Amino acid sequence: NTHMILALDITDREEALKIAEDVWEFVDAIKVGYPLILATGLGIIRELAEFTPVIADFKVADIPNTNRLICDQVFEAGADAVIAQGFTGRDSLDACVEIASEYRKDVFVVSEMSHPGGADFMQPVAEAIAKMALEAGAFGLVAPATRPERVKKIRKIIGDKLTIISPGVGAQGGRASDVIAAGADWVIVGRSIYKAKFPKEAARQIAEEIQDEIRGEY
């Protein structure tokens, strides 16, 4: 377990597969989203699933019926988990959880986003979203590595019942060890790996930083 997820926001299929092949041993999952899928098609999910589990980051944020239709497509395409927004409310989230459970797959819910604007409107509702995600039977939350103190707060609310995956490490200024110390289970890293001159080395370094932090805790 490396406690690291690769965010593969690359728009060239060959390049994306090359990076996945290069770094898969240092990550526990690959997160794909609009940039890669819109550029290369949904079929890339099955190709990447050869290397690791795939998290489909579509930030699903619609009415329950549309959420159901979206999640069906995502899981039919071979994804192991989907990311949904929480602000659309309990019924919309329930729809995602319902479809995921039919496929025996997982839902992650965004509580608050990692960019500076994520503090504008999302932060005040993040704790309510975290509680809702817990009650709805989601698998985990997406919480910001750029604000470890917020991850700590969210962890207090949800206890050990939900997994926290945390983007914002490296390019956005967060540190992997800080957010793991704050209670995240996995860090999500994109540019710091796929834009590095040597992606494998970059991945290895962050993985080591995480392992050092975890060892230090015991």
Q: Which of 18, 28, 33, 153 binds ligand BMP (CB under 6 A)?
A: 33
Residue 53 contacts ligand BMP per CB under 6 A: no
SS3 of residue 6 by DSSP = strand
Residue 174 contacts ligand BMP per CB under 6 A: no
Residue 171 contacts ligand BMP per CB under 6 A: yes
Q: Kindly give the pairing relationship between strand 186-189 and strand 163-167.
A: parallel
Residue 178 contacts ligand BMP per CB under 6 A: no
Give one word for 134, left, alpha or beta, with left for phi > 0 and alpha for psi -120 to 50: alpha
Residues 76 and 73: their CA atoms lie apart, in Å, by 5
Q: List the catalytic residues.
A: 59
Residue 142 contacts ligand BMP per CB under 6 A: yes
Residues 88 and 150: their CA atoms lie apart, in Å, by 21
**How many Cβ atoms are within 10 Å of 173's Cβ, its own excluded?**
11
Query: Where do runs of H (alpha helix) occur along 24-140?
Result: 34-40, 44-48, 64-76, 90-102, 123-136
Residue 9 contacts ligand BMP per CB under 6 A: yes
Q: Which residue is nearest to ligand BMP (CB)?
A: 190
Minimum CB distance to ligand BMP smaller for 78 or for 118:
118
Query: How far out from the chain centre does Cα 27 lie?
Result: 12
Q: Which of 22, 55, 57, 186 binds ligand BMP (CB under 6 A)?
A: 57
Least distance between ligand BMP and beta carbon 212 (Å):
20
Instruction: Say if residues 60 and 82 touch (Cβ distance below 8 Å).
Output: yes
Q: Which of 53, 140, 148, 168 binds ligand BMP (CB under 6 A)?
A: 168
Query: How far out from the chain centre does Cα 194 lie?
Result: 16
Residue 5 contacts ligand BMP per CB under 6 A: no
Minimum CB distance to ligand BMP smaller for 104 or for 167:
167
Residue 148 contacts ligand BMP per CB under 6 A: no
Residue 40 contacts ligand BMP per CB under 6 A: no
Q: Which of 152, 191, 200, 204 binds ligand BMP (CB under 6 A)?
A: 191
Interface with ligand BMP (CB under 6 A), residue total: 20
Query: Where do runs of H (alpha helix) occur along 137-198?
Result: 148-158, 176-181, 191-194
Q: Please report, as ranges, the residues that interact with ligand BMP according to CB under 6 A.
A: 7, 9, 33, 57, 110, 113-114, 118, 142, 144, 167-168, 170-172, 188-192
